[in-house]
Amino acid sequence: MRKTFYTLAAVFLCLFAFSSCGYNGLIDKREAVEQQWANVENQYQKRSDLVPNLVATVKGYASHEESVFTQIAESRSKLGGTINVDITDDPEKFAQFQAEQNTFSASIGRLLALTESYPELKANENFLDLQSQLEGIENRISTERKRYNDAVSEYNKSIQKFPGVLTAKMFGFTKKAYFRSEEKAAKAPEVSF
């Protein structure tokens, strides 16, 4: 009887020790990171879904600009295989994902720059609506990326501080990757008139 009591007491003591070491808190923070990543993915998907409509509208006016359309299609197809929650644990895959998103963004930028040559396209209601939607999505992507980085910061700090570091090492919690700006974003763009 006493042996059973001591065994149960030891089990409860271990459970209490693990809960006070923050295991449940680490789970909550890891889930918050994954939820925020899903929000980022959702905005990327919205952008990806919107771009074909934008391309179709521009094609009607600028059909001879095939290289821009091809570039967008290639960038968009590369993105299809990389969206995955697991990439937040792998800095190399995360960097690759970020580079592909940056390439896609640059392609969209070239498409929008192309429209400057077509005043009748700039006045087209469908194009203006699509352009406005794209601008809104880009803003939401930026917001969701910031929220993701905030969640990653909380999570990464919690697995590095005591006593969370003990629990993290014991149960295999690893750091998550941050979104980083491109190297060229650190330099101010040159503007000349």
Torsion of CA 146, 147, 153, 156, to 10 degrees: -120
What pLDDT, in 10s, does the model give residues 25-39? Answer: 899 999 999 999 999
What pLDDT, in 10s, does the model give residues 90-144? Answer: 888 888 888 888 888 888 888 888 777 777 877 788 888 888 898 999 999 999 9
Q: How far is CA 183 from CA 99, 102, 167, 180, 187, in A?
A: 11, 11, 35, 9, 8
Q: What is the mean pLDDT of the chain?
A: 81
Per the omega criterion (within 30 degrees of 0), is the bond before 52 cis?
A: no
User: Which contacts (CB < 8 Å, 24+ apart) does range 83-90 have?
Assistant: 83/41, 83/44, 83/45, 85/34, 85/37, 85/38, 85/41, 87/177, 88/33, 88/34, 88/37, 88/152, 88/176, 88/177, 89/174, 89/176, 89/177, 90/177
Walk me through the domains of the chain, giving residue ranges and CATH numbers. Answer: 38-152 (1.20.1440.20)
Give this prediction's pTM.
Answer: 0.73
